[in-house]
Amino acid sequence: MKKIKKRIKAGETLAGCWLNLGSSVTAEIVGLSGYDWVLIDLEHGAGEQTDLLHQLQALEHTPAASLVRVESYQKERIHRVLDLGANGVMVPRIKSATEAKSAIAGIHYPPLGVRGVAKMVRATGFGKNFDAYKEGTLDNLLGVIQIETVEALDELDEIASLPGVDVLFIGPADLTMALGIDGDLSHPLFIDAVDKIIAAAKNAGKAVGILIFDPNDFAKYNEMGIQLIACGADATFVANGARALASQLNSAKIKKE
């Protein structure tokens, strides 16, 4: 089990990256590239549940911790992801403390949660390490709640105070759209929302994360107290590289009269 949760609690800033191609090959490439963590995106990514196992296997021998964004807070989705060996789960589109509590309950075994017991799964070494895995879930499994709705902003303190919520993760695209300022990260409404999220997390002793689109913004958000910062995606790397090289080649074509 990679110690992403313990590193966050120790105050480290951890750089991450999205994986949305559903490819075990790009997962391995990114995992070996120097990121502290990667997020396999089952909400918007091209991959399916059947692709997840191969991506987690590819990441196992890399330094990067593996988080998975599920499609909803339904416990069945969360159970499947964790049984396959993910180091943590990100839950999107949360609108209330009640929904956040349901999401976290899906991560942990009773008495904190409602996760079903299955010993013969990859996460437990197919039964070999079940007791140690079960006892260590609270210390090792990362619970990430995305804050990207207006409703969630109204219940920040309640969400942040929930046991098992480790990170409040800002989703800039959805949050700015919900605020009616689509994509405007410099708008006072977004800046105020970020400040409120950071304050709620700090008061509860929790961490904050964010997805950024410009690596030059990394230091700014880190100085604000945000520890879990993602930038880039495997699909973006492929698309940008392909477009740049194709453009260079096309520019070099001999123009015939």
Residue 187 has pLDDT above 80, yes or no: yes
Residue 255 has pLDDT above 90, yes or no: no
Residue-wise pLDDT for 7-24, tens only, equals: 999 999 999 999 999 999
Quick one: pLDDT band at residue 254, thresholds 50, 70, 90? confident
Residue 152 has pLDDT above 80, yes or no: yes
- Rounded to an integer, the average pLDDT of 161-177 is 97
Residue 66 has pLDDT above 90, yes or no: yes
pLDDT at residue 246 in the model: 97
Q: What percent of the chain has pLDDT over 90?
A: 95
Q: What is the 3-state secondary structure (H, E, C) of the chain?
A: CCCHHHHHHCCCCEEEEEECCCCHHHHHHHHCCCCCEEEEECCCCCCCHHHHHHHHHHHHCCCCEEEEECCCCCHHHHHHHHHCCCCEEEECCCCCHHHHHHHHHHHCCCCCCCCCCCCCCHHHCCCCCHHHHHHHHHHHCEEEEEECCHHHHCCHHHHHCCCCCCEEEECHHHHHHHCCCCCCCCCHHHHHHHHHHHHHHHHHCCEEEEEECCHHHHHHHHHCCCCEEEEEEHHHHHHHHHHHHHHHHHHCCCCCC
CATH class name, domain 4-245: alpha beta
Q: Where are the domains of the chain?
A: 4-245
Residues annotated catalytic, as ranges: 44
Residue-wise pLDDT for 48-61, tens only, equals: 999 999 999 999 99
